[in-house]
Amino acid sequence: MRKYPVHSVLFSIVIVLALFSFTQSIKSDKEVFDTYKSNFEKLKIEASQFSSRVNSIKPTSDNKKSIVNEYNQLRDAFKAIEFIWEYTDPIYVKDYINGAPLPKLDKSAPGILILQPRGLQVIDELLFEEDWNIENISEQAKLLYKAINDYNFPAKINDRIVFEALRVELIRSFNLGLTGFDVPASERTMADAIVIFTQLNKTIECYKSRIENVDPNLYKNIAFKFNLGLKQLNSNISFEGFDRLNFLKEVVNPLFSDLLTAQHLLGIETIYEATTGTKFALNFEATNLFSNHILNADYYVNLPQNLSSSKLDNLGKLLFFDPILSASNERSCASCHNPLKGFTDGESKSLAFGMKGRIDRNSPTLINSVYSERYFHDLRADALEDQMEHVVVSEKEFNTNIIEVVSKLNQSKEYLTLFKDIYQNESSPINKHTIAFAITSYVKSLSGYNSLFDKFVRGESNELSTSAKRGFNLFMGKAACGTCHFAPNFNGTVPPLYNDSESEVLGVPENPYSKTLVIDNDEGRIAAKLKEGAPFYRYSFKTPTLRNVAITAPFMHNGAYKSLQDVMDFYNKGGGSGIGINVPYQTLPTDPLNLNKQEMKDIISFMESLTDTSGLTSVPMSLPKFDNRIEWNNRKIGGIY
Amino acid sequence: MKKKLLSAIFLASSVATMAQIPFPVKIDTSWSAKTIWMPKSPLKQQVIFVGGVDTVQTTATYGNAAGSTVAKQWHDFIGFTPETDPAKIATGDLGWVIVNHEMVEKNDKVGDGGGMTTFKLRRVTGNVMEIVPQTLTDGRSGKFFNVDFVNTVGETGMNCGGISADNGRIWTAEEWMQNSNTQIAGGVRDTSDFVIGTTTPAGFPGFNGKTLKKYQNLNWMVEIDTKTGKAIRKQYNWGRAGYEGGVLMNDNKTVYLFEDGTPGLLIKFVANTAGDFTSGQLFAHKADAADKWIPIENNLDTLVNLRTVAFKRGATMYTRLEWGAVNKTNGKIYITETGNDNPGSAFKSGLGATGTIANHLIVAYKNRYQIVNGTSFPGTDAAASDSVRNGAFKDYYGRVLELDPTTGVVRTFFEGGPYHTASASQGVNSYPNVHFSNPDGLNFAYIKGKTYMIMQEDLNGRTWNRMPAEYQAGAQTICESYLLDMDIANPTYSDLMRITACSPGAEITGGIAIDSRTMLFNVQHPDGANTFPYNNSLTYAISGWDGITTAVEEYFKSKNNSLFTAYPNPVANELTLNKVSDIAIYDMTGKRVKVYRDVQVVNVTDLTPGAYLIMNAEGERVKIIVE
């Protein structure tokens, strides 16, 4: 048995290694856990003190100051544990600790149950109102303390969770913290970020010796970037003046990448190894916040596994441009989603079936549209696959039905062969789902982050204009665009986990160019889904991607705005409420943004740097033939309108 | 099932609790290790009805001729009417299955509102299920048939649970209380008033000619004939409420109904004549009343406003009752109370103001208080009751209740859980093997002389440890279905045996044993991220239970072994370790494919068949072969 001794040697090596790293790992994750525990206790104390304070004193101006001080300490205590708490229990934090200060629906209730907002963001708003309502503040403080005190501590954390929590916090802090997203009134963004980066730095210090063991330079780089980041944050700069683009390129992205390298080199498992049968929207293996695949497109769609995606894309593309899907054989998906116009049609509202009138809403771009939890302006479809059927049966669009479409496609041997080739195990290969999968796959393929801006952020190009650079900083700061159009897709898909899509009430007028402004009467989300019939969803619409916005005018769900300048002006004035329309549940801040002309220009320059349709606009050379319906063979690729 | 011990491979096992081994990314796989076979489950799983894909035969409606269209989605309740003709039984015919669609939508062919689909099931050799082609009395021919509500008894809303009586009679329920025509307008095109008795089959004795607002004609139990695919009548005399489920007792007179609401009602109806449910007496449960039940008069105005009337009279308030079933072995009724994360002011104001706090909720609240705070509840029961009324009981796990029909007494059969202490100084050591929360579907199976409860979860959320930390970065909940051996005295959640987990994000529901060999389940509203057909609501059969009971018992017995080893659970495709461990799974090239920490049960469903090595933190390893 020659092999035997070799095995024994190998075996002992593994054991020694295991023992070696074992003793070190006790140091790191236990240290992180102990710090978390003691910081959690600190938070409890702060919350308790804040609660008893607001409960016991009168809101004189001196007292107000000291209460705000206490609040700041409470925030600091929360921000110190945010990265672990949010990562291990995001829903609890959202529901009870730091969710948006807006009412929402209890999704688990039978029927419609509205949950009132609570937590730090509500307190933030209350504390910075002119007139204090001390009872409200006191009630909220009590609720917050109770939620912290009640908390069921989760299962212990491990190295994997620490690294994932650190990296996810980089995304959260950059997109939700530094943009002012979670401080609706106090704008205490810089101080929050300092606490967070200090804590992240302290956490990685627990891994110092382990990382140095595998790559001394790596640890040096990480420490250097943290120091640089803290220096930038500490430079006493204002919320408006902070150079977010520079911070992203010099600090956030390098750390995001280096921490992943460290996790891999230390042999710490990935989330994909630790879970069974589940998908994540965030790609944990991505190395840059603007990586082409930072969002996992396969999470958002539900295509069957083991299908050839290139064949599926191809078939989907044929169907997309084939007017055979409509009752008149004259109109295709491309009728309203023209690749040359960024997959829109340049109309305010698209031409309806039979060229009679208009459909109800503006045609949105399809590029990067896959990265969404819900589809349509009113969020009525839960999946991209479901979207197709709405168009097929709509009298104003394809004006037909699935059974009819299937029966027509089945009359083409060429189509049947293409479907059979992909869906080999289906007894009737052309059906509602196989059609939907193909179109979905094609729409999914219409994605990519290769705009000038992406390349600049990734360090692949230096060609970004200074105006666009200023524009990004305004977008993510003073103009607050990035608090709804979240990076990197610049749509309503919420970081850092990207598994929720938001809609907003803006108060868009029916015609912004008319003398009397009235709200567009399209009710949006409230009328789309029975279980979303809550008043705050009236006039609520999906936040679309701003990628390719420069080539997809006109704008808004009703296509009412002709230019980006006009859209900027609308936002700058405070949306519908700002231009004098009564919008009860407007989610856009109603105060003016106070952007000057140059600033608005800069933001538009930045949006223009998000144009990228490269490799996405090709049209099929021909469509499949019908043997017995020769007249159908003359149909136009992409339809006649 | 092999249960050989591993050759113990040294290394002290007395390591600190926070220890964690970074398992090598790659290992040499040629060392010998004991082998465990993961047998293919003797159970056969087969998808039988897919919503949005299978075609249903429709009746003429809205001016459209009878025809066909794709079935509605959102499968919930499954009702079953057994075949009684011996000749048909001999050919394998089992009976008629009817599935609820818990959705409200406008549909030109099926009709607006909710819906149901009925079909006949046959089992042939090898436990293969077939749909029996039928021609119904109204001339429709095919495999699947929709139930016409619009032209018979008026639209329904969300068809959720129901009653599947032993004698084959079926009633469907709608949990979501509708309070205005505006609320239903998105899913029902005709919101004009409904006059009882103007449709065929004609109305209801005593109430014909009475007018209801369209929304008021929703939320009644509706009797259905599975064989003709027709609605028979709305059961106006059982009251209008957000009913989720119910049972018909053996006397063929007494019906119990369970309301999904906070507060929710427990209702009883006793027919005057066995089998005729159009006349009798209705009652609401009031646990603290001497005779436990308060009578409700048979007056349409009262019945339309049953919730208001009953709670005003002090009816007992439940936190979302769901399904129930009679255990034929002891005659008692078991009901799931799914719980509510945020009862808020529901027990205090509005309808709750005059309702009675249920005693079992007081017990459950005190129980939770003790575990979470480490000290017992400091006040009296009256004080605990006040706390529940004030919304202090975050009932996020729910429970299974037991109702004794002879006494009207309701008690907790077992609580969901486990709860954990809230102290930040005590992290939970591991995610529990069995974590039972928000029970929904409930039925009984009788296999080889033994009685098993079948239960399904429907998670209300991911907080409060209902999902492990690993899964928090995703957006999905994973609900599971469990079996409980009813011979176990004073069972807890830890006695549950997992039989199936459904697609992530979905609700598993409808579980019903149609005989000792086959159970049917529904998967409802799965997450869009699942792959076809599991991205659709669907009904599937799991057959072969008669061959599995020995394995089930074996599985239970094997749990308490003290040495490092692993047991396959043939039912759920999982491996049970003898103790909570950190483990890594390597493929035979030595590449690490999985690392699970603090687990005792390892799910191997996403491992492609083949050989793997499992190594624990002490370096001990076993080889598993997944068939």
Best-predicted range by mean pLDDT among A64-73, B63-72, B489-498?
A64-73
Question: Is a pLDDT exceeding 60 seen at residue B487?
Answer: yes
Q: What pLDDT, in 10s, does the model give residues A102-152?
A: 998 887 777 778 889 999 999 999 998 888 889 999 999 999 999 998 887
Task: Report residue B44's pLDDT band, with 50, 70 and 90 as the boundaries.
Answer: confident
Average pLDDT score over residue span A469-490 = 97
In whole angstroms, what is the distance from residue A433 CA to residue A316 CA? 12
Question: Is a pLDDT exceeding 50 seen at residue A157?
Answer: yes
Q: Which residues of A touch B70 (CB under 8 A)?
A: 402, 432
Task: Report residue A13's pLDDT band, with 50, 70 and 90 as the boundaries.
Answer: very low
Question: Is a pLDDT exceeding 80 seen at residue B504?
Answer: no
> Which pLDDT value is given to residue B621?
81
Interface test with A, best of B472, B524, B594 (most A CBs within 10 A): B472
In whole angstroms, what is the distance from residue B603 CA to residue B500 CA? 11
Residue of chain B with shortest Cα separation from A158: B20
Test B469 with A268 for CB contact under 8 angstroms. Answer: no
Cα→Cα distances A392→A105, A312, A325, A362, B147, Å: 31, 20, 7, 17, 26
Tokens encoding B271: 């027919």
Test B603 with A276 for CB contact under 8 angstroms. Answer: yes
> Which pLDDT value is given to residue B595?
93
Query: Which residue among B22, B183, B471 places its CB closest to the CB of A266?
Result: B22
Residue of chain B with shortest Cα separation from A26: B19
Q: Are B323 and B259 in contact (CB under 8 A)?
A: no
Question: Is a pLDDT exceeding 90 seen at residue B395?
Answer: yes
Task: Report residue B265's pLDDT band, with 50, 70 and 90 as the boundaries.
Answer: very high
Test A274 with B535 for CB contact under 8 angstroms. Answer: no
**Which residues fall within 8 angstroms of residue A443, CB to CB, at 6 or more apart?**
A316, A320, A366, A369, A370, A384
Query: Which residue among A155, A373, A383 places its CB closest to the CB of B468?
Result: A155
Residue B102 at interface with chain A, using a CB cutoff of 8 Å: no
**CB-based contacts of A100-107 (< 8 A; 24+ apart in sequence):** A101/A125, A101/A184, A102/A536, A102/A587, A103/A534, A103/A536, A105/A531, A105/A532, A105/A534, A106/B342
Rg (CA), chain B: 26
Tokens encoding B422: 């809230």
Q: Are A592 and A574 in contact (CB under 8 A)?
A: yes
Tell me the residues of chain A between 174 and 233 that have a Cβ less than 8 Å away from chain B.
none
> Which pLDDT value is given to residue B577?
79
Question: Is a pLDDT exceeding 90 seen at residue A305?
Answer: no
Interface test with B, best of A88, A96, A156, A428 (most B CBs within 10 A): A156
Q: What pLDDT, in 10s, does the model give residues B416-440?
A: 988 876 554 455 556 777 789 999 9
> Which pLDDT value is given to residue A30?
83
Question: Is a pLDDT exceeding 90 seen at residue B471?
Answer: no
> Which pLDDT value is given to residue A590?
92
> Which pLDDT value is given to residue A399?
95
Query: Which residue among A88, A156, A281 places its CB closest to the CB of B472?
Result: A88
Q: Which residues of B touch A497 (CB under 8 A)?
A: 473-475
Q: What is the CATH number of domain A452-608?
A: 1.10.760.10
Among A277-281, B346-350, B529-533, B562-566, where is mean pLDDT lowest? B562-566
Q: What pLDDT, in 10s, does the model give residues B515-562?
A: 888 988 887 766 555 556 666 778 888 888 877 655 555 554 444 443
Domain ranges of chain B: 1-42+548-627, 44-425+433-547
Q: ipTM exceeding 0.90? A: no
Tokens encoding B373: 């705070």
Query: Which residue among A22, A37, A89 places its CB closest to the CB of B463?
Result: A89
Residue B251's identity, in one-letter code, is D
Helices (H), A152-252: 159-172, 189-205, 208-214, 216-233, 244-247
Task: Report residue B10's pLDDT band, with 50, 70 and 90 as the boundaries.
Answer: very low
Query: Which residue among A26, A269, A277 places its CB closest to the CB of B19?
Result: A26
In whole angstroms, what is the distance from residue B393 CA to residue B386 CA? 10
Classify A400 in phi/psi space as left (phi over 0), alpha (psi -120 to 50) or beta.
beta
Question: From the CA of B502, how many Å to the nearest CA of chain A?
Answer: 10
> Which pLDDT value is given to residue B2?
29
The arrangement of secondary structure in B44-425+433-547, i.e. its CATH architecture, is: 6 Propeller (2.120)
> Which pLDDT value is given to residue B496?
85
Question: Is a pLDDT exceeding 80 seen at residue B573?
Answer: no
Q: Are B120 and B266 in contact (CB under 8 A)?
A: no
Question: Is a pLDDT exceeding 90 seen at residue A62?
Answer: no
Q: What pLDDT, in 10s, does the model give residues B86-112?
A: 999 999 999 999 999 888 888 888 889
Test A155 with B473 for CB contact under 8 angstroms. Answer: no
Q: Which residues of B touch A15 (CB under 8 A)?
A: 11, 619
Task: Report residue A240's pLDDT band, with 50, 70 and 90 as the boundaries.
Answer: very high
Helix or strand or coil: residue A419? Answer: helix
Mean pLDDT of chain B: 85
Residue of chain A with shortest Cα separation from B371: A152
Domain ranges of chain A: 3-278, 319-446, 452-608
Q: Are B140 and B148 in contact (CB under 8 A)?
A: no
> Which pLDDT value is given to residue B360?
96
In whole angstroms, what is the distance from residue A78 CA to residue A85 CA? 9
Residue A128 at interface with chain B, using a CB cutoff of 8 Å: no
Test A155 with B584 for CB contact under 8 angstroms. Answer: no
Rg (CA), chain A: 27
Question: Is a pLDDT exceeding 60 seen at residue B14?
Answer: no
Average pLDDT score over residue span B563-577 = 62
> Which pLDDT value is given to residue A21?
45
In whole angstroms, what is the distance from residue B30 CA to residue A624 CA? 54
Q: Which CATH number is B1-42+548-627's, of 2.60.470, 1.10.3470, 2.60.40, 3.90.1580? A: 2.60.40
Helices (H), A57-188: 61-88, 90-92, 120-127, 134-149, 159-172
Tokens encoding B600: 């005792």
Q: How many residues does chain A have?
A: 641
Query: Which residue among B244, B535, B598 places its CB closest to the CB of A302?
Result: B535
> Which pLDDT value is given to residue B31?
64
> Which pLDDT value is given to residue B8?
29
> Which pLDDT value is given to residue B553?
56
Task: Report residue A196's pLDDT band, with 50, 70 and 90 as the boundaries.
Answer: very high
Among B43-47, B164-168, B550-554, B574-578, where is mean pLDDT lowest? B550-554
Tokens encoding A331: 């109109």
Task: Report residue B609's pLDDT band, with 50, 70 and 90 as the boundaries.
Answer: confident
Tell me the residues of chain B between 463 and 522 that have a Cβ less than 8 Å away from chain A.
463-465, 468-476, 478, 504
Q: How many CB pairs under 8 A join A and B?
A: 229
Question: Is a pLDDT exceeding 50 seen at residue B146?
Answer: yes
CATH class for the domain made up of A319-446: mainly alpha
> Which pLDDT value is given to residue B432?
73
Q: What pLDDT, in 10s, does the model give residues B319-332?
A: 999 999 999 999 99
Q: Going by CATH, does the domain composed of A3-278 fall within 1.20.1420.20? A: yes
> Which pLDDT value is given to residue A25?
47
Residue B31 at interface with chain A, using a CB cutoff of 8 Å: yes
Question: Is a pLDDT exceeding 60 seen at residue A7?
Answer: no
Tokens encoding B611: 């050989």
Question: From the CA of A241, how many Å to the nearest CA of chain B?
Answer: 33
Residue A277 at interface with chain B, using a CB cutoff of 8 Å: yes
Question: Is a pLDDT exceeding 70 seen at residue B41?
Answer: no
> Residue A56 CB: number of other CB atoms within 10 A?
9
> Which pLDDT value is given to residue B543?
86
Burial grade of B456 (CB within 10 A; 0-12, 13-18, 19 or more): buried
Task: Report residue A156's pLDDT band, with 50, 70 and 90 as the boundaries.
Answer: confident
In whole angstroms, what is the distance from residue A50 CA to residue A78 CA? 13
Residue of chain B with shortest Cα separation from A94: B463
The answer to whether A3-278 and A452-608 have equal CATH topology is no
Interface test with B, best of A275, A284, A301, A537 (most B CBs within 10 A): A275
Question: From the CA of B179, how many Å to the nearest CA of chain A?
Answer: 10
Test B473 with A282 for CB contact under 8 angstroms. Answer: yes
Residue of chain B with shortest Cα separation from A497: B473
In degrees, rounded to 5, the angle at the alpha carbon of residue B484 between the alpha carbons of residues B483 and B488 is: 160
Task: Give the residues across from A572 on adjacent strands.
Answer: none
